[in-house]
Structure 1
Amino acid sequence: MTAFGGFDHVDLRVPVLGVVERFYDVFFTRLGLTRKSYSWVEFGGSSWSDATPERYNAVEYYEENVSGRPAHFIGIIEEGTAQPARGRIAFAVDADTLEEWHGVLHELGAREIERSDDDSYPALFFTDPVGTRLEICARRSRP
C-alpha cells in the first residue's frame, strides 16, 4: 500500500466569484495562503491561462517561500452553473485562535457559523457567502 502523499491543491467552483472573492482574500491570507494570482478558465476547465486583475474568472491563493516541494494552493473558479459544495473542506488552526476566528468569520460575512459541541473536536463550521461548506478545526493528536 502506498502512503498518502498529502494534497496538492483544491479547486472550488462558485456561481459568482465577485460575491466570495473578498471573503477568500481575507480568509486564505489568515490561513497562510498569502500570494494571489489571477487566471482565465474556459468552461469545464478545457483551457487555463494567466490573467490580469482587470479580466479574470478564477483566483488562486498560494503558500509563499516554500522550497523543496511545490507550493500548495486553492483555486476559486467562477462557473455560472456551479452549486454550493455539499461536502466540507476543513482547515487546521491552533486551538487558541478559534475564538478570534469566530469574530473574524462574522466580519467576513460567513453564514451558518456553528461551534462544535464536542469538546474533543474543537471546530467552527460555516459557509462562505454563496453556501460552500467550510470548517476550521484544531484537532488534537491522539494519545
Structure 2
Amino acid sequence: MTEHVNLSDYERVLREAGVRITRPRKVILEILAERDDHPDAMAIFRRAVRVDASISLSTVYRTMKLLEDKGAIHRHTFEGGPSRFEHADATHHDHLIDIDTGAVIEFTSDRIEELQKEIARKLGYEIVHHRLEIYGRKRK
C-alpha cells in the first residue's frame, strides 16, 4: 500500500520553498523517497548517518518540518509514540498499529468507507476529512 515517491518531487517542493538542496538534505530526501514504512525522525536520522555521518538530527527535523509545512508529507502521531511521516499524495488508507511492535499496517476497506459515510449522513453531516487508526495486538 505504501507508495514510493519520486525523489525529484521532494526536491521540487524544497526548491519552490526557496531552500537549497544540500548533501544532507539530499540524503534525507532519498531515504524518504525509498521508504516503505512510516519512519519517525530518529529512524530517518539513523538511516541518514549510515550514509553521511555529518548529518545532524536538527537537519532531519528542519527538513521534515519544511516538507510538512509545504504539504509534501503528513505527520502522524500514533498513540504513545513519536511523530511518524508518510508522503502526502498517498492514496487514502487507514492504519492498524501493532501495540507490541509499533508496526504500522496500511489498509483500505470499502465497507468501512461506506459505513462512515452512512453514519455521517444519518447524523446530518458530510465528511470532509477523516482518519481511522486501529490499535491491536496479534492474536495468539
| Structure 1 length-normalised TM | 0.23
Higher alpha-carbon Rg = 2
| Structure 2 length-normalised TM | 0.23
Q: Which has the higher strand share?
A: 1
Higher relative contact order at CA 8 Å, sep ≥6: structure 1 or structure 2? 1
